[in-house]
Amino acid sequence: MEDTTLINLWKQQDEKLQKNMQLNLFLLESLQKEKAAARLNSLARFKGWAVFLGIAWILFLGLLLYGNRFSNPYFSISVSAILVFNIAAVVVYIKHISLIRQLDYSQNIVATQNKLARLQASTFNLRFLVLQAPFYCTWFWSTDMINANPALFWSVSVPIALLFTILAAVLYRNLTLENMHKKWVRALINSTPEHTSVFKAIDFLKQIEEFKKG
């Protein structure tokens, strides 16, 4: 089969399409106005909800911190650390939303799709959140609690906090796109609400890489 035959077949299909073309492209009046705002894509909408919940959580933590007024240093330091991690996560999500909204579809296809797929797989950018885990083991500590039963504190509370610190560090090191071949990393991502779109995005990133290689 000749190349020209393929192109001619395509042209024949064009003719059929042209005959049936009923496309109403001129809904521009409505497209230019309020509809534009509603077209924010689902990825940005999901992240918008995450920002909303994140801000609510930050306000709650701020209130707790303000109520405590540093009377218990363990509580204040732990909640402050959790607060910092969550503020950082909200900032990352706001940055993502802004990137999604500014996405320029007139750039070349590989660059645009690569950017979009990376944003979809951006759960990995929030892996620093696992580092807050140890602070959830220390916020309820107090001098009174330690003095009341030092043996229990050193034999149970401290090892649990240490275990979570090690676990957080291991997760932080391993939760990367490059480690997606590890079964347990995939299983962990599978437990997140965004897992389907993350896996699809990762597969698509692989496709883009292969495509770039030729």
- Distance of closest approach, residue 113 Cβ to other proteins, in angstroms: 6
HEC profile of 146-206: HHHCHHHHHHHHHHHHHHHHHHHHHHHHHCCHHHCCCHHHHHHHHCCCCHHHHHHHHHHHH
Judged by the rule CB under 8 A, the positions of this chain that interact with other proteins are 1, 3, 6-7, 9-10, 12-14, 16-18, 20-21, 23, 25-28, 31-32, 35-36, 39, 42, 104-113, 116, 196-197, 200, 204, 207-208, 211-214
- Distance of closest approach, residue 202 Cβ to other proteins, in angstroms: 12
- Distance of closest approach, residue 38 Cβ to other proteins, in angstroms: 11
Closer Cβ to other proteins, 165 or 186, answer by number: 186
Nearest alpha-carbon partner for 112 in 98, 102, 122, 125: 102
Closer Cβ to other proteins, 58 or 115, answer by number: 115
Closer Cβ to other proteins, 74 or 204, answer by number: 204
**Cα–Cα dist 112/116, whole Å:** 6
List CB contacts of 209: < 8 A, sequence separation 6 or more.
none
- Distance of closest approach, residue 96 Cβ to other proteins, in angstroms: 16
